[in-house]
Each structure stands twice: as structure tokens, then as C-alpha cells.
Structure 1
């Protein structure tokens, strides 16, 4: 594991009691790149509340949102070096525990819809980052050396890391997500793009996999618009996604 530096030792969350009163969500967004001088992903992330109650009744749980305070630079080496530190800092301030849920947000500028990615790729990061580097050295080469699979999907620690699992977004997940943001165009995607969005998604799940943790991670692609109305819609969609993850992932897991 030396290729990642010191992978943080994070305590498992598998033994947590059913229906926790507090749910922690770690969220990141990206910085500018290429012609995208403003990255809507970080504007959306930073617009989120620090917490909310869900559902809003006598049995409500507090969902606490921990947005990384700065945008992640669109650079392979930076993602590789920074993400383990972000998780380690979170664990240090949360009694050694990993976030219950993790969402990475990035833009797909030409798209006018929101999509949740269902898988991440290990190989073929040939598009150069803001530093002019491809992702081979910081990604594919290291990951192959660690024996990681070509594909990683969200899932429990006991699932096959490259196969569909109860954590994988599917029709029921999409239906639930749409119910919380009915006016938005929401979709499920199987192609995260072989660029930094795909790269951070694989990096995040690989760190969980190497620690024997649940791959409780999703990547959300958002449109590139950065007007106030765009950010507000992105905020609504992201909160809807978090609620869907609680219902379809955490509640289902506790009932299993």
C-alpha cells in the first residue's frame, strides 16, 4: 500500500446500530479546468446546508454534511495525494470512523441533466489534467500493482468489488431520487468519462476496498451552468440524492 502513502486506518461502520440518529456525509467538488473557469460542482457543494433532519418527524435523524472546504484541483496526482488525507482528517475528528456516505461532484459541461455514475474505471486515463499529465502513473500503474480490479462499483465490503450489489444505483434508486426532485432530469450512467471525475470515483472506492470498508461512494455529474438558478437546482438534486442514499443504502442495509 506504499503507493498511496499511509492508507488511513478507519474503523468499520458495519456494526453500527439500526436507524442511527446521525448520518455523516462527506462531499467534494472540483476546481476550474480547461475552458471551465468556474466549476459548478464546488459551487453546488458549498451551497449545501451543514445538516438537515430526515425524515422530518418524531423519528427524524440528523444528516450532517461535511463539504471539503476547498475545491479539489483537476489533477491526477493531487487527487491521489489529497483524498486519503481528507478521509484521515475526517476519521481523526470522528473517533476513527469513516463517513456513512461519500459523494463526489463534478461537471459534465455539455449535458443538461444530472447523472449518478454506477461504476469507475482503473485504466485508460489518457486525457491530460490541468498540469498536462495523464493519469497512468498516478492511477492505472499503481492500481494494477495493488491488484485492484479493472472496474469498481459501490457496494458492501463483502460484495464482489466489480459486480452489482445492493448499493448499486438501479431503477428503484432512480425512482426514489426522482421523487425528491420531481422537476429535474435525473439519470443513471455507466460511463464516468475516464477523466478526473472517473478517477476520483475509482480512487475513493479503492481506498475503501483496501481498508475492507463498504464502498459507500457515489459520483454525481452535474451540468456546467453556474448561474444562481443552476446552483439552486444542483443543491436540490444533491439533497435529493443524499436522501435516496439514506433510504436505499443505509436503511436497506440495517434491515438486511
Structure 2
């Protein structure tokens, strides 16, 4: 008897537009090149334009975007200029979105956060299985030919947030962008040579903002608003930081890395449903 095919899993993916000294954001360059389907009954829904690097347009867009695509999984992508690797972020916090102004010259106050998210916890983590996802993702990409900027020989020892140390740095732009941590932390360090890895440093700018807002939005979707096999009430949303990819070769690798991440996310999401 032939095995029963898996039900279609719907994955929403977004990327950001230009900001500050990033005139071409590689996150949307990747998203705009993704296929609409992947093997094993996976459908990809990409937002047709870059998400503006602005708080209010972003949060106004999310309800319609999630509602119209009815994703089982949402993947938001952004760039971390100082990194030389791809990283899936564990979670995000709702405070400190007033640290720096967005492309519209505005910030997002804690009072606005209360109005948007009510009594949602200060910190939210994805409900997806990151351990299983990262393990699978690393296996799927282990034979990739990495561009010079991402090769092991060119990598630094990883950013300070992901060393097995306690570290304290002052607030500033790199904190908000997710390049360094602001608070004291002590976490297990991933292998600093891994081109794809786990992280817990999404930052306090639009990357952290869309991640937190996306997790809230996904958890609020009802059975009527989601697909037939969605996990109602779960934060099945995740965020990936990509390096500052520039060349066509680098963007192409980014597309391949992303499709393998999607496969890994879906594989582990389906296991959670069993």
C-alpha cells in the first residue's frame, strides 16, 4: 500500500526593503527569487514587495498578510550586517522599539505596544522546534559551496552574543540591529564555524519588531482564519538573519539556504503535529 502523501503545508515568507546604508536589502533579494512550491507538498507564499523598514506600516500590514495567506508557518527574514553566517533567532522582546527611528523618522513606543499586543509577555519565543530544525538545516547545507565571504576561513569567532561568556555592552545601533547583546547573558555557544546556526540576538529594530508582532499575530489566528492543518494558538513563526549578501552568487546561496531551512522547518513542524 502506497504511503499517504503529507497534507500541503503553507509557508509565508517576507523580506525587508532598503534602510540606512543598505540600499539593496538581501533579505528581499532572496525572497523575490524563491520558488512557489517545494518537494513534499510545501507551498511558499511570498509578499510581492519588500516590507518597509518602518514600524507602523509593518504592524498594519501583518493582520491582512497572515489572514490572506493563512500560513501554517511564517518565516520573516532580515539582514545583520556584521555577521558572516545565517542564523535562526529563538525569540524577541516587545520593549525598546523606541531605541532608534525607522525610515519614516518614527519609533514605536511602549504605550503603542500595549495597544497592539495587550498583556502579551515581554518576551516571546517561537513554538517551532528550533533544535530539530537547526540540526536538520545544518545537515542539508553541509555540502554547500559557500562564497568567500561565508567560508570558514573568512569567518570571525562569532558575535559576542553567541559566545559562552557573560558580556555587557552599551545600547546603540548595533544592539538594536541585532549585532550585539545589550544585557548580560550566558548561553551555549554554537560552533563559530557553522555557516547556519541558532541565535538569540534578533535585536530591537525592525527585525525584532516583525518577529514579535508576527508571533502575536500567528498565535491569535483562529481555526477559521488558518489553514485546515494549522496549529491553532501556536507561535509557529520564526525569524532568520542573513549576512550582507551582495553578489548574485551570494544571493543565490541565500536562496538555497532559505529553501533548505523551509524544508527543515516543515519537517519538524509536521512532527510536532503527530
Q: Map 1:71-220; keep pairs closer than 5 Å.
A: 71-90=50-69, 98-125=70-97, 126-136=99-109, 139-143=112-116, 146-155=118-127, 167-170=128-131, 172-182=132-142, 183=144, 185-211=195-221, 213-220=233-240
Task: Figure out how many residues of one structure are paired with residues of the other and give that number.
Answer: 210
The separation in 1 between residues aligned to 2:264 and 2:119, in whole angstroms, is 32
Tell me by how many angstroms 1:108 deviates. Answer: 0.5
Q: CA deviation at 1:177?
A: 0.6
CA distance in 2, matches of 1:48, 1:200: 20
Report the CA distance between 1:22 and its aligned residue: 1.4
1:234 aligns with 2:195: no
Q: Which of these two proteins has the greater Rg computed from alpha carbons? A: 2
Match of residue 26, structure 1, among 6, 12, 31: 12
Q: What is the rounded CA distance, in whole Å, between the counterparts of 1:245 and 1:207 in structure 2?
A: 19
Contact preservation (8 Å) 1:122, 1:143: no
TM-score by length of 2: 0.72
- For residues 124 and 137 of structure 1, what CA distance do their matches in structure 2 show? 8
Q: 1:63 aligns with which of 15, 18, 42?
A: 42
Runs of 4+ in 1 over 6 A off after TM superposition: none
Q: What TM-score results when the alignment is normalised by the length of structure 1?
A: 0.77
8 Å CA contact 2:30, 2:255 repeated in 1: yes
Q: Which residue of 2 aligns with 1:14?
A: none
Alignment of 1:9-48 (within 5 A): 20-48=6-34
**8 Å CA contact 1:30, 1:41 repeated in 2:** yes
Q: List alignment gaps of at least 5 residues for structure 2.
A: 147-194, 222-231
Counterparts of residues 241-256 of structure 1 (less than 5 Å): 241-250=261-270, 252-255=271-274
Structure 1 residue 208: deviation in Å?
2.2
- 1:179 deviates by 1.0
Residues 24, 209 of structure 1: alpha-carbon distance in 2 compared, 3 angstrom cutoff: closer
Change (3 A) 1:225 1:139: farther
| CA apart distance, 1:248 | 1.6
In the alignment, structure 1 segments of 5+ residues that lack a partner are: 1-17, 55-61, 91-97, 156-166
Give the CA deviation at 1:236: 0.9
Q: Distance in 2 between matches of 1:48 and 1:139?
A: 34
Distance 1:206 1:113, change over 3 A: same
Q: What is the root-mean-square deviation of aligned Cα atoms in Å?
A: 1.8
